[in-house]
Amino acid sequence: MTPGSPTQPSLVSRLRALLPTLWTLLALLAIGSGWAMFEHYRHRPLGIESPQTLEIQPGDGFSTITRKLQEQRILGWRWPFTMLAAFEGQTGRIRAGEYRLAPGLTPQGLLDQLIKGEILLHRITLVEGWSAAQVQVALRQHPAIRPTPDFDWPKLMASLGTPDLSPEGQFFPDTYLFARGTTDQTLLRQAHERMRQELASAWATRAADLPLRTPYDLLILASLVEKETAVADERAQIAGVFVRRLQLAMPLQTDPTVIFSLGADYSGNLTREHLLRHHPYNTYRNPGLPPGPIALVGRAALEAAAHPAPGQALYFVSRGDGRHVFSDTLGEHNRAVACHQRKTCQGSPP
């Protein structure tokens, strides 16, 4: 070098000066690559080929949950999903329950589903016209409902605040959604509350001058309508016949009450002996309404009982096809019975 000329930095010195910048660039590249892989993982479908069910019990920790997911081959490695949950601070917010995991679900979607508690809901349908015994059988046979040991109707009715009432007709027929492990009594309480609301609504809007003293009377009448017909446009007509008979102090003479009184003794055929049998529910022998409802009652039957159709008919008989023939007089009724029950029609059937 020429004396007095500026000192030129060596190549090594230059490289050393660039090292911090190089490390920063490498770190940024690594972070960017890692983040890209992380984003790819969280939004990539898990490979679920058909719907699967995951059950998380109360008290299951996050490691237990990921182990279940791995055992069901929903997760391959557990640690990426653990990192995802830890990154979002959600490892302690998973809700217990039964989950349906659908094809196309991503790790992020799975985590969101578990955090929100979007559990699988089962369903059961209580059917119009069912007896309390049929309700109990349906609840007992449903695999997702937890049965109450030593189930007892009187105890349940007492817990509902109606210890003196029969369970018949006390539950609203509808489809109910529930989580696995829900008890039969929980569902019955829900159905009872629905019935209480529906009955109160029908009673509040009932027609004037009905021969009914209480909402319970309305429920009883609606249960008779429910059992007599499934034809929508006949319900109000049948309710009208019953209301007029009550007003005239005529026996209701409705077969479903006799069938109800026979219970397990009913073999499918009503006889004259059955109609003469002494029983509180036999409306051939006892005037007025029976002591209680005889079946589950839907909204349509409640509305029909609350708003019976006007008219003069005091009788009806089944045509054998689900519909009925209505008559104003006993003579007309006897001819309709002869035609449709005894098959002795002359000319066009009434």
What pLDDT does 339 receive? 85
87 — pLDDT class (breaks 50, 70, 90): confident
Contact 171, 126 (CB under 8 A): yes
Contact 128, 297 (CB under 8 A): yes
How far apart, in whole angstroms, are the C-alpha atoms of residue 275 and residue 258?
7
Contact 191, 124 (CB under 8 A): no
- Could you read off the pLDDT of 38-55 as tens digits, one per residue? 788 888 898 888 999 999
What pLDDT does 47 receive? 83
Q: Where are the domains of the chain?
A: 52-116, 121-199, 208-340
DSSP state of 7: P
Q: State the chain's mean pLDDT as an integer.
A: 89
- Could you read off the pLDDT of 232-249 as tens digits, one per residue? 999 999 999 999 999 999
SS3 54: strand
Over 70: is that where the pLDDT of 252 sits?
A: yes
The closest alpha carbon to 90, from 114, 67, 66, belongs to 114
And the tokens for 198?
Answer: 């529906």
Q: Is 15 exposed, middle or buried (0-12, 13-18, 19+ CB in 10 A)?
A: exposed
**Distance of CA 282 to CAs 91, 153, 278, 291, Å?**
64, 23, 7, 10
Average pLDDT rounded to a whole number, residues 181-189: 96
- What superfamily would CATH give domain 52-116? Endolytic murein transglycosylase (3.30.1490.480)
What pLDDT does 1 receive? 47
201 — pLDDT class (breaks 50, 70, 90): very high
* Phi, psi of 81, rounded to the nearest 5 degrees: -70, -35
**End-to-end CA separation in angstroms for the chain:** 132
